Structure formats: C-alpha cells, structure tokens
Structure 1
C-alpha cells in the first residue's frame, strides 16, 4: 500500500509539472525571442532617428549609432539599395515594408532582423536594417529550462518524500487493523489499544473502525470466556441433579414390576429430570446474558422457599435443611435464575462439605436483602481461598469432605453480576451470606 500511494503521488506530480511546465517553458522561450527583438528594434529606432537629418540633407551617414557591435546595421535608400553600413547590398523583400513606413521584424540564418523607416518629420528618406544573433536568447532559454528542470525534479523528489511519509502514516493503522483482524479470526481477542476518540487521527474513519473492532473483540472475548466457563460450571451444577436422577432410576429398577413403589419412583425421577432440564436452561441463559442486563423484582422469601423444597428431595440421611424468614415479604432486584442457582450452590455446598443441620435465613440488611446459609461445621481456609474455585479444607471436627469445587466461585460471580455480594460471614459455624440489592436501592449497591 505504501508503494502504491507513493507511486500514485509521484505520477500525479509529474503529470501536473508537465501540464503546467511545458506551456511555461514555451512561454519563456517566446518571451526571450520577443524581448530580443524588442530590444533590437529600440536600438534600431534610436539609430534611425540619429541619421535622419544627415540622410535628408543628401549626405551619407558616417556612423550608424547607437546600434552595438553585436547588432550590425545598414542604411538603405528608398530604392532598396544599401547606402552604408554592414548588411546585404539590397534590402530583402521580407524587410521591404520598412520603405513604406512600417517596422518589420524577421529572422534568417540564426539572426533576428529588424527594419525601421528613417523619417525626417513625416517624410520617408530611407530605411535602417539591424541584426542580432539568436544565440543569446537561446542561451537564456536553455538556462531557464535547466532551472525549471531542476526545480521539477526537486518537486518530484519532495513529493515522493512527503507521499512516503504520508503513506506510512496512513498505512500504519491499517496494518495494525489487519493484524488485529487476522488474530481475531484465529481466536486471539487481544486487539491492540485503539487511539482515543478525542485525538486527531490521520484518517478518522480508520480510527473509528479500530475502536469498533476493539469493542467487538472485547465482547467476543467476554462471550467466549463465558461459554467456556459454562461447560465447567454446568458439569458442577448438574452433578447433584444427575446423581438424584440416577438414584431414583436405580430405585425404580430395583422394585418388582407392578409394585406400588414403581410409580412413585418414576414420578420422582421425572421431577428430577424436570429440575435438571430447568438447571440446564438457566445456566445457558445466564452464560449468554449480556452484562448489565435488566433485572426483575424478586420475592426473596418465596424464591428461597422453592429452592429449599427442591433441595430437600435429595438431602442425605441424617441431615436436615430448615428455612427461617426473620422479616416477612422481602423483595430484591436480580435475576430469578441467577439467584436460584446461587442458593442451590450454597445449600448443596453446605450439605456436601458441611456437617449437621443446614439453615437458610432471610433478613433485612438495611439497603440490601441478606440470605444466610449456615451449617454446623468449621472452616479452616480464608474467604479468598473459599471462593477461589479450588479445594478448601474443613476442620477435623467439621466432618465434611474436602474441597468446594468451582460452585462457590460460580455463585460469587453470579451474585456480582446481579449487583450483589457473596461473602463468608462466619467460619464457625460456617455461614455464607448472599446480599442482594433491595427494590428501593440501586442495583449495584450492597449491604454490610
């Protein structure tokens, strides 16, 4: 691209110089010719005025002046024959018009010729012929043309230099843009930083395309990251529903055909399959939901009650899940699907990794609505490690299995996407609190 821009600029400059330079060169040459002839005519007219009285008296002029040595002159009578001076014996027909009172210009054999009438008052008494070599005007023309040629070459060279620098400025952002587009097509979303919109750009349109590409790359990166995370998060979230479904199917398979418990086991398996289907749909919707999506008003107590009821169907033997509503009729902003997944993660995490009874409590936390999920175990890792998506440890007396998987990391990210917070309220007994923005509060706020 740089070579094409430079070549095009040089060609345009050469055409422009030729179009304007050729007429100028011809005009300069013509000007020097006319200037020489006019100068010669002036000298001849002065000389003719000087010899007019002598010629009118019938005498032969001794000196024809002030015509210079480079411009020899001759005086002719009215019959066209030479009287004196340096010239041909007879006035040429081309110059004979001077005998009738006209000024005549001509050229022959490398000389400019001028013939002027010699007048004594209004009476013609002869003619004066003067000549001057054309070499001087040719020399002046040659010098002028040489200067014009040098200036033209300098102009073309300057144009090439400026065009190359401009081509570099124009092509550099395009090359960066092409590289970014190529990397984007290969799955690399690290687009180079576009110029700020307020800066003066060589080509604003290119800068605008660069900024648009950067925005597109950022959105694609976010989308792909969320889609990739979905596979890992979905496997974690689907583990418990799949296990419950398998248990019910195994229970149905172990019963004799036609026994009363088969129908109940099949119905229970269908309910588990429905929950599994809903979980998949919600996770897909959350993975594709754009950041900052509009949130709905949630009846927190009702939503918590439904989640606890679903989880109770798979509570291990010897474990219980209770729910407490300290402040009735609590409402918050958020996505029902996201909050349901968060609560499911918290309760299942308490059942799997905690010990004793699990309690879920909703309460008013000032500008926010709090949901506490607690068990009777003791946590030995700090809050950062708990939500890091890697393994954590319960205390020996906690009795729970090691490791929290990526469920809590998913839950925290979903909570922050809803404008809320997920925090460890107490390590012993282990209590994790979900804070959601209240209906009268800005969705981005969080309580203490």
Structure 2
C-alpha cells in the first residue's frame, strides 16, 4: 500500500513562492517588488515609494529590519532563515516560512526570498509517517498507533484541529471509538457505536458512501440535525470525514478532522486527510491480520488440548477395558477350575440343599461356586440357589455349566 502518493505531496507542498524586492537608502524605501512579495507582507502594490518599516507587519519587521540595517551599514550580505508569515486571510489563510537573503547594491539593498514551507512540512510529515510505520511494523497496539497519528496531525496543521478515528464493525453497520485524544470524553462516548448511513453526521455518511464528506458549517448542515446540540456542546463547528478503506475496498473506519469554527478545506487539507487515512488503513489492516492470526492460533491450541484430552480418555478407557478383560479372564479360569474340581466329587443320593430340615428328593443337579464349594440338590433347591446365591453355577461332568442344566 502506498501511504503517500506523489499527487498528494504536490497538493500538500506545491504552493511554494519566491519573493523579490529592491530597496533604496538607509530608510529601505521600496523601489520595486514582485506580487509574491506584496502577498507575503499582506500589502497592495501601492506600497512602492514608502519605507519598508511602514509596510511590514510587526512580527516580520522585528526579524527583518535589524538585518537590513546591518547589511546596509556593513555591505556584507546576510540571510534570515525560517521567517514566518501568514499568506492570505480568512478561510484561505496559511502559514508559510521563508529564507530571505539580503544583498547590498548601489544605493540600497536587494532582497530575495524562497519559501521553505514545503521543505519544513515535508520533513515533519515524513518524520511523523516514518515513526507511525515503525510502530505498525513492531506491532504496537492499534490504539497507540491511532492516538499517535491523531496527535501528529494536530501538530502538523497550523489551524486548530481535533482528529478522530472511528473503527467499523466487521459488518460495517456501526462505527466504534478508535482514537480522539483532543475531543471531549462525553463526545467520544456519545458517538461510539453510531450507525453508518446517509445523513448520519459526517462520519456515518462518509462510511456509508465510501467517499469524503465535507461539512463546513455544522450549525446549518442537515447531516448534523441529530448531533448538532452535541457538537455545539463540544465546541465543534466543522467536520471533514474521510472513509478508511481496505485494499479490497472494504470499510475499515473513518478519519475526521474537526474545527472550532466553520471552515472550507484547502487542497492541502484534503491531501493530508488522504495520506493519513491510508496510514490508518495500513495500521488497522495489520491489526486485523494479527488479531485473526491470534484467534486462529487460539483455536488451534484449543483443538490440540481437546485432542490431548480425548487421547487421555481413550488411554484410560483402554486401560480400564484391559483390566476388566483380565479380571474376567481370571474369573472364567477360576470357574473352569472349580467346575473341573467338582467333576470327581461323589454323587449323594439325596438333596443337600434343603437346609436344616433336609430334603428327601433325589440329588439330580450339582451346584458349585468359584471358591470350590459344591453340593448336590434337587431341581427346586438347585434353582433357588442359582437365583439367590451370588457366583453359584451348575457343575456337570461335561463342564457345560448352566447350558447343560437348561438343556436337560
């Protein structure tokens, strides 16, 4: 993803100008100047023929006039660097910086200046972006990256501005608080979770349309009908919102710049918004990738743990089954041994299972247990023993057990 495009850089830093003027005498009377010079000192061209001290704003004059005097007096050229001026007025006003060179000439001075605003802003912008990209690369928390980005923009823009980033829910139906370090807490809480849709403020509309939405005056714009009182309470008068889009066009969130007074954006403002919306997209997509990876790893770990539990349970069941099989085999062996031992026992004539009173019936069935005890009984008493005495079985000479009895 290209975070800063060449077009946006031209929009941001393509307003550079050069100023030139010739001055006469110790009073530095203005003899001639180009239009950019008059724009820089916020004067009309009718200032020709007047001393420069009468034309320069106080802030500029205090920095420049002593240098002019020194060069005129010594004849040695000098340079004033980073001279700050405000070009234009009202909504079109912008901060500018110049490097001014003053050279002596016959009877006066030559002043040549080159605007360095673009260089200063480019250096600051690239430094801020490099820092943000480093944060993204080292997987800093998303809130930290977005908060840092918001503060960077608020420091880069000369006009007072408050930055907000809202994050889209996975279904794109609502926007959640992401970062807004300078907006009031009550305002952030109120818009956290707003729906995306046409006419839902600047951000909800930008998210719905997937296009920037510029509201220059919240007090009169119908998009803000439901939020106007909230904005007034927070001291907000304008809001420019740019959707944050993924590489596949999906909605990631919105990037908004709020202003305390009604304001129309310049091309440089819109370029700055596009640049940082792409930076935010890079951070959000990276966060979502890492989040999805962490969730996948958590699911895989849970599956591995579940498999391990299943294997342990299977092992325990297998061990229990083996123990049961071994016990059953031992019991069967004892039963066979006991049955075999009873084969040779003498066969009495009368039932031995009649209790103390005895039984006169003929002894027809031999019963035994796994401990080797046995007795002969009649069919009635033998069956009673089988039903009521644990571990008793029918012992026959063929070792057929109960099957021989039932098939008699």
Q: TM class, shorter-chain normalised?
A: under 0.3
Structure with more of its chain in strand, by fraction: 2
Structure with more of its chain in helix, by fraction: 1
TM-score by length of 1: 0.25
